[in-house]
Chain A
Amino acid sequence: MRGKEVVVKRIITLNVNGEEFEFLTEVHRTLLEVLREDLGLTGTKRGCDLGTCGACTVLIEGKPYLSCLTLAADVQGKKIVTIEGLAQDGEPHPLQKAFVQKGAIQCGFCTPGMILMAKAFLDENPNPSEEEVKQAISGNICRCTGYTKIVEAILSLTHK
């Protein structure tokens, strides 16, 4: 759908971070592209565009999805949460606090995806073992931290 070829555009409605957005866009565009380029929500990162790094993870109905492999048109009417929408009433999510205070953030490029993945995981499994935490975030790549402080930050919020 490029250049002079026929480009199919549709009006798409998305619910992101509790707000409704309506816009006209090509049907082939991914949720990652729309979030970053149309909605200005650049907290969702593009690390590979292939679904291999996890930096673009967002929550759709509370579940983690790779927004680079998700078409925007397919998630209309669903509740989408990006890193910008994680704080509640101006109060950062406990995971955001833990990541900051435990030194789990270095360059910060993997951080939004990592935090959202951790949130979805802890919502399902509030008392995980260290091994379970590692498995849960194994699709989210970090080159800076060696994962040590990320795992510590997530474990600090479990009820053990």
Chain B
Amino acid sequence: MNKLDVVGKREPMLDAWEKATGRARFTDDLAFPGMLYGKILRSPLAHAKILHLDLTGAEKVTGVKGAIGGEDIPKKKYGIVPMAKDEYALAIGKVRYVGDEVAAVVATSLDAAEEALSKIQVDYEELPAVFDPVEAMQPGAPVIHEEVHNNVSASIRKEFGNVEKAFGESDFLFEDTFETQAVNHCPLEPQAALAVVDPSGKVTLYASTQIPFFLRRNLATTLDIPESKVRVIKPKVGGGFGQKIDLYAKDFCAAFFAMKTKKPVKFVYEREEVFTSTRQRHPMHIQLKTGMRKDGTILAQQFKVIADGGAYNSTAPLMITLACYFIMLPYRLENLLFEGYHVYTNKPVGGAMRGHGIPQVRFAVEAQLDHVAEKMGIDPLDLRLKNAFQAGAPHPAKLRVQTCGFSDTLKTAAKGIGWEEKRGKLPFGRGVGLAGASFPSGVSNMSHISSGAMVKIERDGSITLLTGAADIGQGAETVISQIVAEELGVPLEDIRITAADTEITPLDPGTFGSGVTLRAGNAAKIASQEAREKLFEAVAEKMEVNVKELEARNRRIYVKGSPERGMSFKEAIKFYQYSDRPMPIIGRGSYQPPAKEPTTLLKEDGNFSPAYSFMTQAAEVEVDTKTGKVKVLKMVASHDCGKAINPMLVEGQLEGSVVGGMGQALYEEVITEKGRVLNPSFLDYGIPTAMEAPSITSVEVETNDPEGPFGAKESGEGTQLAPAPAIINAIYDAIGVRFKTLPVTPEKILQALDEKKKE
């Protein structure tokens, strides 16, 4: 590959200065004259019929401009996965969890809106509720959605190879059960939406969203208006981690009230609402059986997975499918039987969260593998290396893995943590562990899987870039701009980017499945090339050379290898214009994953992603045997991201993801009692602070994927798959106890140490 000037550089994010000086505008920072403030009345009961809703008290409160229930807004279901739509903007007929949306009000002040909520009268008839997914599947369990009688709203049963036969041929069989907990994404910015209606009747919704185009479509269908009457603009978004992939009552209610009152309307969720009424990582009950050959080959695995979905579907079918398919990476596994269920319960709703269904099963596999290795007398690192997937190998589900740096991530992570010197050799209470994983670089959904971009070369030599990509703080706009700058041979500062505005920017699926860099990056790359070619044609004509001989670099266009034979970028634009070529100079690009895609995996196997990233996390921990507290001293995050377009941002992704994964291993849990969240605040939830953050070493393994822009693949999301098992494995090395339930709290450690003493 040629030397690169902008790609591969540690550039600060383009909007970092705005953010450092307080000028960056998030949804709640926007205000319009005459703006109304909205609030949502939520169910205090886990499962109940709404017998009567009386809004008259609310309507009488001074300043109140509207109050609605589910019957007052078009009765159209919404959902992020079209086949699994099961939610109304506001509940109709019954509520299904504590926090379900019952009514909404808008008023001239937030105080008046809150006052109005307290005046709404709701008569409920409480229904039997069910909080455990296993119980919810039993005959006779309370039915949460009328059309789903056993509460199983999505399921998958897939067999690859012949598991029974492979178990028969196995020298060792291992069976374990694992439990994972509910985890909240905790974006620092609570969900917000602000709707404004223009004189033509068009609604513009500013929203804290990862998916502006999906949101536009769902708003149009749910409010029964044409898509052309809806514009979604994503201002700065204060983190998402998957939670803002979804659509919420605030979006529909803001748009509905704005249309009704002709005034701007803003809804902002309180932190408690973020905990109780948005989305969370699905708790899973996982039974895992593994068959091993005595040489250390993983012959077969059998899973039974029950995911606690809470009261609604959200991404249910996709989540349970991802959990299945990503068992077969990063290790070779010819024989897999996967049985997975997404089960409704009267609890907060599960949704996509960093890793999306995979971290839970990955925890089970990686924790069990350590045990397998020990029982078979093999070093856990060697066991993983022996079974590591390799690029180009056939995949049982037909995933096409063109590049795979998994073995390198294993080796570098092990080296970084001091595996050879430390494993099994540290004093009691100290230990090391590691775990591996793989993740797609973008998922093909059933629609909206194509990204578009437009690049315009301006007369002053600057570049205008339009992309639909939704930057939620990960730096997507910066990375895509770096790609454009590299292609056009200009510095990053010459790029002006407009992104994530459904009226102006090209279609993009949004930020999910770790596809932004690859998908939107490729679209922008193609658009840049098209614009550049136009300029090259003018220059080639002027210089009487072949277009193919030209290159663009350092704000110059010149004959390859002879920078003196050429002209400045600006001169080139002038020649272009003077040769009566059509202005403006625009390049358009769109990118869709190649080959037989799109497959959904829901119905058939096939290559699900254009590329796959691979990663290993290694941890060193110290367990305080008196208090039961675990301190993670060090983490090494080794990641095959294909090519780091911006190594500083990749590191940032890895570091943040690792600490999130650590939180899930040790501290975080949304605790419910009879469906009510007991700890809906940062104070009680257990989010890691700087005090808990370990020292983190990031290792970027570059494999230059042919499908990725400049070779780039996913980074940051897959990283959250393996920290928890790496830490749990390190705890075993430290104190000799294997934990199968997350999080591993001090209470669990102390209890385990007590039991160990008794043995």
Which of B22, B237, B475, B687 contacts A141, CB < 8 Å?
B687
Decide if B271 touches A50 in the complex (CB within 8 Å).
yes
Whole-angstrom CA separation of A15 from B8 in the bound complex: 45
Q: Closest 6 interchain pairs by CB?
A: A43-B22, A107-B473, A108-B19, A109-B238, A146-B659, A83-B22
Q: Is the interface of A mostly helix, strand, loop or mixed?
A: loop
Which of B25, B649, B660 contacts A143, CB < 8 Å?
B660
Which of A46, A112, A133, A145 contacts B655, CB < 8 Å?
A145
Q: A53-B682, A105-B13, A106-B475 are in contact. Are A111 and B687 (CB under 8 A)?
A: no
Which of A86, A109, A115 contacts B26, CB < 8 Å?
A109
Q: Is A99's CB within 8 Å of the partner chain B?
A: yes
Decide if B656 touches A43 in the complex (CB within 8 Å).
no
Q: Is A157's CB within 8 Å of the partner chain B?
A: no
Whole-angstrom CA separation of A1 from B115 in the bound complex: 10
Whole-angstrom CA separation of A3 from B60 in the bound complex: 9
Residue of A nearest to B698 (CB): A148
Decide if B115 touches A103 in the complex (CB within 8 Å).
no
Task: Report the minimum CB–CB distance from B658 to chain A (whole Å).
Answer: 6
Which of A42, A50, A134 contacts B690, CB < 8 Å?
A134
6 other A-B residue contacts (CB within 8 Å) besides A100-B17, A103-B649, A107-B473: A3-B116, A4-B62, A52-B681, A108-B18, A115-B20, A138-B690
Decide if A148 touches B189 in the complex (CB within 8 Å).
no
Decide if A148 touches B19 in the complex (CB within 8 Å).
no
Task: Report the minimum CB–CB distance from A99 to chain B (whole Å).
Answer: 5
Decide if B19 touches A105 in the complex (CB within 8 Å).
yes
Q: A residues touching B (Cβ–Cβ < 8 Å)?
A: 1-4, 36-37, 41-50, 52-53, 55, 82-84, 86-87, 92, 96, 99-101, 103, 105-112, 115, 133-135, 137-151
Q: Is B474's CB within 8 Å of the partner chain A?
A: yes
Q: Is B21's CB within 8 Å of the partner chain A?
A: yes
Which of A47, A135, A139 contacts B271, CB < 8 Å?
A47
Taking each of A105, A111, A144, A149, which has the highest tally of chain B beta carbons within 10 Å of its own beta carbon?
A: A144
Whole-angstrom CA separation of A99 from B655 in the bound complex: 16
B687: which A residues are within 8 A, CB to CB?
Answer: 141, 143
Whole-angstrom CA separation of A115 from B18 in the bound complex: 13
Whole-angstrom CA separation of A100 from B14 in the bound complex: 9
Q: Is B595's CB within 8 Å of the partner chain A?
A: no
Q: A50-B681, A55-B188, A109-B188 are in contact. Are A44 and B22 (CB under 8 A)?
A: yes
B655: which A residues are within 8 A, CB to CB?
Answer: 145-149
A135: which B residues are within 8 A, CB to CB?
Answer: 690-691
Decide if A151 touches B660 in the complex (CB within 8 Å).
no
Q: Which of B480-511 contact A (CB under 8 A)?
A: none
B52: which A residues are within 8 A, CB to CB?
Answer: none
Decide if B112 touches A147 in the complex (CB within 8 Å).
no
Whole-angstrom CA separation of A84 from B20 in the bound complex: 9
B531: which A residues are within 8 A, CB to CB?
Answer: none
Residue of A nearest to B697 (CB): A148
Whole-angstrom CA separation of A120 from B468 in the bound complex: 39
Decide if B115 touches A144 in the complex (CB within 8 Å).
no
Residue of A nearest to B184 (CB): A143
Which of B185, B239, B268 contacts A109, CB < 8 Å?
B239
Taking each of A53, A99, A100, A106, which has the highest tally of chain B beta carbons within 10 Å of its own beta carbon?
A: A106
Decide if B16 touches A100 in the complex (CB within 8 Å).
yes
Whole-angstrom CA separation of A37 from B189 in the bound complex: 17
Q: Is B389's CB within 8 Å of the partner chain A?
A: no
Q: A3-B63, A96-B21, A148-B696 are in contact. Are A142 and B188 (CB under 8 A)?
A: yes
Decide if B656 touches A103 in the complex (CB within 8 Å).
no
Decide if A147 touches B682 in the complex (CB within 8 Å).
no
Decide if B690 touches A151 in the complex (CB within 8 Å).
yes
Taking each of B22, B31, B185, B237, which has the highest tally of chain A beta carbons within 10 Å of its own beta carbon?
A: B22
Decide if A111 touches B115 in the complex (CB within 8 Å).
no
Decide if A42 touches B112 in the complex (CB within 8 Å).
no
Task: Report the minimum CB–CB distance from B250 to chain A (whole Å).
Answer: 15
Q: Is B683's CB within 8 Å of the partner chain A?
A: yes
15 contacts between A and B (CB under 8 A): A42-B29, A43-B23, A46-B268, A53-B188, A53-B682, A84-B21, A103-B648, A105-B12, A107-B188, A108-B15, A108-B19, A108-B473, A144-B473, A144-B474, A150-B690
B367-388 CB contact bits vs A (8 Å, 1 = yes)? Answer: 0000000000000000000000
Whole-angstrom CA separation of A36 from B693 in the bound complex: 31
B742: which A residues are within 8 A, CB to CB?
Answer: none
Q: Is B689's CB within 8 Å of the partner chain A?
A: yes
B649: which A residues are within 8 A, CB to CB?
Answer: 103
Decide if B696 touches A146 in the complex (CB within 8 Å).
yes
Decide if A148 touches B13 in the complex (CB within 8 Å).
no
Decide if A146 touches B270 in the complex (CB within 8 Å).
no
Which of A52, A86, A107 contacts B189, CB < 8 Å?
A107
Q: A143-B188, A143-B241, A146-B655 are in contact. Are A92 and B20 (CB under 8 A)?
A: yes
Decide if B693 touches A147 in the complex (CB within 8 Å).
yes
Which of A48, A52, A108, A144 contacts B656, CB < 8 Å?
A144
B632-661 CB contact bits vs A (8 Å, 1 = yes)? Answer: 000000000000000011011001111110
Decide if B693 touches A1 in the complex (CB within 8 Å).
no
Q: A103-B651, A146-B696 are in contact. Are A137 and B690 (CB under 8 A)?
A: yes
B43-57 CB contact bits vs A (8 Å, 1 = yes)? Answer: 000000000000000
Q: Is B186's CB within 8 Å of the partner chain A?
A: yes
Whole-angstrom CA separation of A99 from B16 in the bound complex: 8
Residue of B nearest to A109 (CB): B238
Q: Which of B419-435 contact A (CB under 8 A)?
A: none
Residue of B nearest to A136 (CB): B690
Task: Report the minimum CB–CB distance from A53 to chain B (whole Å).
Answer: 5
Whole-angstrom CA separation of A105 from B187 in the bound complex: 14
Decide if A52 touches B112 in the complex (CB within 8 Å).
no
A55: which B residues are within 8 A, CB to CB?
Answer: 188
A108: which B residues are within 8 A, CB to CB?
Answer: 15-16, 18-20, 24, 236, 238, 473
Q: Is B101's CB within 8 Å of the partner chain A?
A: no
Residue of A nearest to B187 (CB): A143
Q: Is B61's CB within 8 Å of the partner chain A?
A: yes
Decide if A3 touches B239 in the complex (CB within 8 Å).
no
B241: which A residues are within 8 A, CB to CB?
Answer: 143
Which of A42, A44, A48, A111 contacts B19, CB < 8 Å?
A111
B669-713 CB contact bits vs A (8 Å, 1 = yes)? Answer: 000000000000111000101110100100000000000000000
